[in-house]
Amino acid sequence: MMYTMLCHPPGPSKVPLAILALIAVMTNVVRAEDESMGPVFVKEPPNRVDFSNGTGAEVECQARGNPQPDIIWVRADGTAVGDVPGLRQVLPNGNLVFPPFRAEDYRQEVHAQVYSCLATSPAGSVHSRDVNVRAVVQQIYESRVIDEFVLSGNTATLKCLIPSFVADFVDAIEWIADDGTSYTIDDLEEKDGKYLVLPSGELHIRDVGPEDGYKTYQCRTKHRLTGETRLSATKGRLVITEPVASARPKFPMTDTSRTYTIRHSRTQTLFCPAQAYPIPAFRWYKFLNGTTRRQPVQLNDRIRQVSGTLIIREARVEDSGKYLCIVNNSVGGESVETVLTVTAPLGAEIEPRTQTVDFGRPATFTCNVRGNPIKTVSWMKDGKPLGHEELVLRIDSVKKEDKGMYQCFVRNDQESAQATAELKLGGRFEPPQIKQAFTEETLQPGPSMFLKCVASGNPTPEITWELDGKRLSNTERLQVGQYVKVNGDVVSHLNISSIHTNDGGLYKCIAGSKVGAAEHSARLNVYGLPFIRHMDKKAIVAGETLRVTCPVAGYPIESTVWERDNRVLPINRKQKVFPNGTLIIENVERQSDQATYTCVARNAQGYSARGTLEVQVMVAPQIVPFVMGDEPANWGDAVTATCTVFKGDFPIHIEWSLNGELIRNNYPDIVISTSSKRVSVLTIDQVTARHAGEYSCSASNAAGGTSYTVSLIVNGTYTENRTYTLSVNSEISNVIYEITNLIIKKT
Ligand SMILES: *[C@@H]1O[C@H](CO)[C@@H](O)[C@H](O)[C@H]1NC(C)=O
Ligand SMILES: *[C@@H]1O[C@H](CO)[C@@H](O)[C@H](O)[C@H]1NC(C)=O
Ligand SMILES: *[C@@H]1O[C@H](CO)[C@@H](O)[C@H](O)[C@H]1NC(C)=O
Ligand SMILES: *[C@@H]1O[C@H](CO)[C@@H](O)[C@H](O)[C@H]1NC(C)=O
Ligand SMILES: *[C@@H]1O[C@H](CO)[C@@H](O)[C@H](O)[C@H]1NC(C)=O
Ligand SMILES: *[C@@H]1O[C@H](CO)[C@@H](O)[C@H](O)[C@H]1NC(C)=O
Ligand SMILES: *[C@@H]1O[C@H](CO)[C@@H](O)[C@H](O)[C@H]1NC(C)=O
């Protein structure tokens, strides 16, 4: 080594080799990463699959990736779906098949279920949107038309009554009068200026006269899944009454729902079925978004009004809102409100679709969503919920386990949509890895020995050593040394000269860098009598788990036990004691667990050693919930808030902030006083608008911190904004000074 250094200038002889080695490692990693690709759906199943028992259904799901992902189907709770002979089958190509089945074979958990397709490969996993599967057993049904009462001159709507058990799949498509005339849903204009089949299936007849009372009508329905059509079992007619006196507009008692949710681009009918004499006028209004102001509905090709009925074709999200129909005649008026929600298909996209991020660097995914309404947003990673509900997902420092597939889901009551993105690890950094390490050994005291660990990683890790959980540093007999090999590996030795019995214990080497850590441990046994090394006092926060291992040396040891007040543990269910000398106490409490514990190690000859451990339980602060006036404060009121810390070890530090900003001298009119070490009182003598906001009291001590926030609402922000004119008479001329925008705030 010295020779090489003398012959060449320092540095270059070693460095190029190291760099070459590094480059070799980097290119390997990068190439391997680039080839793999997490699963992405090529064919994602739809939100709804409705089918009839006579036809069955096949739901497609296809994904690609490198390696090619496997496809399975799962239920909403994540459990895998298996084959059910004759009723459900997952094909090798990933499709989910529901064969035609007999009515008696209907099974709720197969035929009315929410499924999701899950594509998995070593590069990650992704879930499809929720697939609501619904099988319908063909059932005999009949629809009916009943007579409708109408005042002569008004508009009548004849309804095709469809039993509710098939109503989701059966639509009225045609009306047939007894003279053979047919009116179909495809006629966009009224026939004879009078008849129109509404998109919702009713037959709309305007200007009803006495002659209309002689016809009867039947409706024809069509089953959407089977295509089967059927005539109504009964015929209905109009029962016409000639008005004898004026009548103010009245809505029928059987008036139905006034809240509709429809899919974008569908057609919706808004009814206003009032009858009156004289014939009333109908006017439709729409309320301006969230206000009580309204505007007449603009009629055009798309939005038509046929007598009192409003027909909206190719509905748009902007058509959503609250509508008002006002019906008037000379004797009175009546009105009715209808709420329409137009949904737009949900969609999502994540930006960026893939990103390659180095260890320790931040990563951000942004979910762009569309559609209406959006009820929830959630994230998954490799098919597991992340519990994150915002549109932006940020990882501050990427770790190895962050690699994989990320998904953002948007949902509402009707449907869901998802987007996928992949996070790949950059090749530039590598978390530490232990490549070579020591094994358990049993020795006689006397000789010198060493333990060795070799680790790799980029950046180069640092290796540290521990004995029974306590960090080791150089002493007279103990030397730690570390060097980096040409290939970049770090070699660390722990050298112990003339080993003693008391050197026995669990040795650990830890390789750490800013991108991670790796560790290895093994016991070193040295023959001799039992010995227990000193244990430092242990402070632990209440509620946490205490975990200690008795630092025993000496070999062989027959038993290691823990005691408290001369009783062998465990003495309650929170305590767990293991033969290897580990004591675990869950959910520590000061009252029951703060104590001195003794660990006793014995050998077969009856020699023993004892060591004591003092456990101190620290209590983190807790604040009593408080208010800042139950009601909004008025200008000039005095307001106080008292923050009481009812639990927690001293010293406790209490401070206040307003809207996240610490209150110090920045608010001269907010006074904070301390009446005891546990109580802090905030006082504002005269409240003004600028005092409104969120007040937080934060309490902290060595064991932790907590805060409690309340809001102060200041009633009626009173601001005067006037222009004052000030005239000054001078001997030369009248000079007018104008003060503009003098703002007077009432305080
Ligand atoms: C579906 O159900 C109907 C009514 O129960 C039955 O008549 C029909 O045969 C069934 N279809 C098949 C394929 O079994
Ligand atoms: C209506 O109000 C909602 C929220 O209240 C808002 O997101 C939307 O942009 C508003 N629409 C219009 C046309 O003002
Ligand atoms: C029309 O009816 C509305 C709703 O009842 C009523 O407020 C309004 O006064 C009526 N207008 C006329 C001109 O009768
Ligand atoms: C520790 O021992 C090893 C092996 O004998 C030796 O290579 C190394 O230089 C020693 N390290 C120290 C710090 O003494
Ligand atoms: C001792 O054994 C328990 C139970 O097997 C284990 O949880 C614990 O980590 C062990 N302790 C040590 C220091 O190996
Ligand atoms: C808020 O101020 C208004 C007008 O000054 C007053 O009518 C109202 O009662 C006040 N509310 C409260 C809670 O004091
Ligand atoms: C006061 O009124 C003036 C003129 O009307 C306007 O420009 C200014 O923004 C107002 N200031 C405030 C605080 O309302």
**Ligand 4: distance of its center to the CA of 650 in Å?**
48
Query: Which ligand gives the minimal distance to the CA of 583?
Result: 5
Nearest by Cα to 172 from 218, 105, 120, 126: 218
Query: Which ligand gives the minimal distance to the CA of 477?
Result: 4
**Ligand 2: distance of its center to the CA of 292 in Å?**
14
**What's the Cα-to-Cα distance from 158 to each of 163, 164, 686, rounded to whole Å?**
16, 18, 68
Query: Which ligand gives the minimal distance to the CA of 372?
Result: 2
What DSSP element (H or E) covers 16? helix 15-35
Strands 89-90 and 96-98: antiparallel
- Best substitution site from 250, 326, 337 to test ligand 3's pocket, by max atoms within 8 Å of Cβ? 326
Provide the greatest CA pair distance for the chain. Answer: 126
**Ligand 1: distance of its center to the CA of 104 in Å?**
9
d(CA 655, CA 667): 14
Task: Name residues contacting ligand 5 (CB within 6 A).
Answer: 506, 549, 578, 580, 582
d(CA 599, CA 551): 9
For 308, phi then psi, to 5°, come to -90, -5
Query: Which ligand gives the minimal distance to the CA of 55?
Result: 1
Contacts of 210 (CB under 8 A, 6+ apart): 152, 240, 242
Nearest by Cα to 269 from 166, 147, 157, 192: 157
- Cis geometry, peptide bond prior to residue 273 (ω within 30 degrees of 0): no
390: amino acid identity, one letter: E
d(CA 272, CA 194): 17
| Ligand 2 in reach of 290 Cβ (< 6 A) | yes
| Ligand 6 in reach of 632 Cβ (< 6 A) | yes
Q: Cβ of 391: how many Cβ atoms within 10 Å? A: 16
d(CA 201, CA 446): 100
- Best substitution site from 741, 744, 745 to test ligand 7's pocket, by max atoms within 8 Å of Cβ? 741
- What is the per-residue pLDDT for 716? 62
Cβ(197)–Cβ(236) below 8 Å = no
Query: Which ligand gives the minimal distance to the CA of 98?
Result: 1
Cβ(158)–Cβ(148) below 8 Å = yes
Nearest by Cα to 380 from 348, 409, 350, 349: 409
d(CA 462, CA 455): 9
Nearest by Cα to 410 from 129, 616, 146: 129
Query: Which ligand gives the minimal distance to the CA of 283?
Result: 3
Task: Name residues contacting ligand 1 (CB within 6 A).
Answer: 53-54, 100-103, 137-138
181: amino acid identity, one letter: T
Nearest by Cα to 134 from 161, 114, 118: 114
Cβ(321)–Cβ(295) below 8 Å = no
Q: Cβ of 85: how many Cβ atoms within 10 Å? A: 7
Q: Name the one residue in this structure whose structure tokens are 């996993």.
A: 125
Strands 57-59 and 309-312: unpaired
**Ligand 4: distance of its center to the CA of 491 in Å?**
10
Strand partners, 495: 450, 479
Protein residue with least CA distance to atom 8, ligand 2: 289
**Ligand 3: distance of its center to the CA of 251 in Å?**
15
**Ligand 6: distance of its center to the CA of 689 in Å?**
14
Nearest by Cα to 215 from 188, 189, 194: 194
Is this model's pTM higher than 0.75 or not? no
**Ligand 5: distance of its center to the CA of 580 in Å?**
6
Strand partners, 547: 584
Which tokens sit at 710? 């309340």
Query: Which ligand gives the minimal distance to the CA of 331?
Result: 3
d(CA 51, CA 132): 11
Of all atoms in ligand 5, which is nearest to the CA of residue 584? 7
Which tokens sit at 544? 């946490």
d(CA 719, CA 548): 64
**Ligand 2: distance of its center to the CA of 334 in Å?**
29
Contacts of 167 (CB under 8 A, 6+ apart): none
Q: Name the one residue in this structure whose structure tokens are 């339980």.
A: 617
Strand partners, 131: 115
Q: Cβ of 129: how many Cβ atoms within 10 Å? A: 22
651 by Cβ neighbours in 10 Å (0-12 / 13-18 / 19+) ranks as exposed
Task: Give the N- to C-terminal CA distance of the chain in Å, as an integer.
Answer: 82
227 by Cβ neighbours in 10 Å (0-12 / 13-18 / 19+) ranks as exposed
- As separate numbers, helices (DSSP H) first and strands (DSSP E) second, the chain gives 4, 67
d(CA 402, CA 388): 15
- Best substitution site from 288, 289, 339, 372 to test ligand 2's pocket, by max atoms within 8 Å of Cβ? 289
3-state helix, strand, coil in the chain (%, to 5): 5, 55, 40
Strand partners, 539: 616
Task: Name residues contacting ligand 7 (CB within 6 A).
Answer: 721, 741, 743
d(CA 566, CA 595): 12
Protein residue with least CA distance to atom 1, ligand 4: 495
Q: Cβ of 632: how many Cβ atoms within 10 Å? A: 14
- Segments of 216-278 assigned E as strands: 216-223, 229-231, 236-241, 247-250, 259-263, 268-270, 275-277
Q: Name the one residue in this structure whose structure tokens are 């023993």.
A: 608
**Ligand 7: distance of its center to the CA of 724 in Å?**
13
d(CA 551, CA 559): 13
Protein residue with least CA distance to atom 9, ligand 3: 333
- What is the per-residue pLDDT for 35? 77
- Best substitution site from 493, 494, 496, 497 to test ligand 4's pocket, by max atoms within 8 Å of Cβ? 493
Query: Is the Cα dihedral 558, 563, 567, 572 positive or negative?
Result: negative
Cβ(705)–Cβ(698) below 8 Å = yes
| Ligand 3 in reach of 707 Cβ (< 6 A) | no
**Ligand 5: distance of its center to the CA of 582 in Å?**
6
What DSSP element (H or E) covers 22? helix 15-35
Nearest by Cα to 109 from 80, 75, 137: 75
Q: Cβ of 348: how many Cβ atoms within 10 Å? A: 22
Of all atoms in ligand 4, which is nearest to the CA of residue 493? 1
Of all atoms in ligand 1, which is nearest to the CA of residue 140? 4
- What is the per-residue pLDDT for 15? 36
Q: Name the one residue in this structure whose structure tokens are 């759906």.
A: 41
Contacts of 318 (CB under 8 A, 6+ apart): 342
- Best substitution site from 292, 324, 328, 329 to test ligand 3's pocket, by max atoms within 8 Å of Cβ? 328
Which tokens sit at 154? 């008004």
**What's the Cα-to-Cα distance from 606 to each of 503, 559, 601, 602, rounded to whole Å?**
21, 10, 10, 6
Protein residue with least CA distance to atom 4, ligand 6: 716
Q: Name the one residue in this structure whose structure tokens are 């058509």.
A: 319
Nearest by Cα to 464 from 511, 516, 513, 514: 511
Q: Name the one residue in this structure whose structure tokens are 């999502």.
A: 348
453 by Cβ neighbours in 10 Å (0-12 / 13-18 / 19+) ranks as buried
Give the chain's residues under pLDDT 70.
1-34, 253-257, 716-747
Cβ(260)–Cβ(337) below 8 Å = no
Cβ(494)–Cβ(454) below 8 Å = no
d(CA 339, CA 348): 27
- Cis geometry, peptide bond prior to residue 556 (ω within 30 degrees of 0): yes
How many residues in total does the chain contain? 747
Query: Which ligand gives the minimal distance to the CA of 742?
Result: 7
